[in-house]
Amino acid sequence: MKTILLHPTYFPSIEQMAYMAKADKVVWEFQDNYQKQTYRNRAYIAHSNGKLLLNIPMQHKRGERQKTKDVLAVADFPWQSQHFKSLQIAYRTSPYFEFYEDDLEPLFLKPVNNIIDHNTHITSVLCELIGMEFDAAKTDVFEKNPDAVIDLRFLVDAKRKSDFTPTPYIQVLEDAHGFLPNLSILDLLFNEGPNTLNYLEQQTLPVTI
C-alpha cells in the first residue's frame, strides 16, 4: 500500500493533489507546530496580472509555539468573501467554473474557526468533485522521521522551489501572462473539469510513490 504523509493545506497545489491521486492512503499531519509562510493558509490562483495569492489571516500568539490544530483564522475580517470574489473574477469565463461554483461556494460562506479542520474539509470536497478516492487517517504523535509512510510534508513550504514540472494545459488567462505552473488545484479544476483526475494521475512527480 502506498501511504503518504501530508499537511492539510488551503486549496492544495496541483503537485500535492497529484501525489494524492497516486496514493492508496493519506495520513494527515495533525501534531506539528504551526509555521508561517506555508500553504496551510495560502493558495495561488491565476489572475489577469499573473499569480494571485489567497491568504487566510491567522491569529498568532507571539512568543508561543502553537500546534497547527490549535491555530484559528481571524474572524473579524471578510477574507472568505474576498477569496470567492477573486475566484469569480479570475475564472468566470473558464470552461467549468459555473459547473463547480455551487458545490464550492459553501466553503466560503460557513464561518471558519480551526484552520486545519477547514483544510481537511476543503480537500474532502475537492476529492469528491474530482472523483478521487483513498483511505485517510490523522497522526496521533509528531514524528520527525516517520516509518512506513512516504513523508511529503515538505510540500507545505511555500518558499520551497519545486522540481515538479506539470504538463501544460489551457488556462483561461494564458494569453495575458503565459502558462502558470502548479497553481491551486482550483485552476486545474476550472479549466479541465472532468479530466482533472486523469491529468493528475498522468503527472511525473519528483518523489516516486
Nine-digit cell string for 99: 459547473
On whether residue 190 sits in a domain, the answer given is yes
On whether residue 8 sits in a domain, the answer given is yes
- The number of domains in the chain is 1
Q: Higher-confidence residue: 48 or 115?
A: 115
On whether residue 64 sits in a domain, the answer given is yes
The arrangement of strands across the sheet holding 3-6 comes to 135-138, 25-28, 3-6, 150-151
pTM, two decimals, is 0.96
Q: Band of the pLDDT at 63, cuts 50, 70, 90?
A: low
Most distant CA pair in the chain, distance: 47
* Statement: residue 173 has pLDDT above 90: no
* Statement: residue 117 has pLDDT above 80: yes
* Statement: residue 180 has pLDDT above 70: yes
On whether residue 38 sits in a domain, the answer given is yes
On whether residue 207 sits in a domain, the answer given is no
CB 4 within 8 A of CB 209: yes
Nine-digit cell string for 68: 497547527
Could you list the residue range(s) of the whole structural domain that residue 27 is in? 3-201
On whether residue 67 sits in a domain, the answer given is yes
Query: 488567462: which residue's cell?
Result: 173
On whether residue 206 sits in a domain, the answer given is no
User: How would DSSP label each residue in 98-145?
Assistant: HHHHHHHGGGGTS---BHHHHHHHHHHHHHHHHT---EEEE-SS--SS
Query: 502548479: which residue's cell?
Result: 182
pLDDT of residue 169: 98
On whether residue 175 sits in a domain, the answer given is yes
